Amino acid sequence: SPSRNDEIGPLSLLIEEMEAATIPVVACIHKYAFGGGLELALACHYRVAMPDARLGLPEVKLGLIPGAGGTQRLPRLVGLEMALKMIVTGNPIPATAAHKAGLVDVLVGDGKGGDTALMQAAVAFVCPQRGAVAVSYTHLTLPTICSV
């Protein structure tokens, strides 16, 4: 008998797990979130991006449709009109437009702070949302961790 993984595929299974997480899952978008990358970000509870990032579902340009739930999740965040435009044309949008539409929760700085600034902004955004306290761990590669 086929396993759950065979039925829906590994990406969809991962996305289901992320959506069901009891702790906040944050997508940090540094440069590009295309195709499956955007579908992963859509499954996150929050999305934080650099202003020069670009987001899109370009599968249609290859004759495919997004296959990991992007066609269902995207309209819930940005509305049907914008979602249809993104899905049907396959054209990416800049993070600034994604932020205005509700696809990105927070834009981080001027795009020059790198990964550290992006992760710090993600933690700073999520911790107040959850009523948690941010704790700095300098011995870890992640600059800050939110204890929930």
Q: Which residues are catalytic?
A: 39, 59
Tokens of 21: 């997480």
Residues 6+ apart with CB under 8 A from 60: 87, 88, 89, 90
- Rounded CA separation 65/59 (Å): 6
Residues 122, 28: contact at Cβ < 8 Å? yes
- Rounded CA separation 106/86 (Å): 20
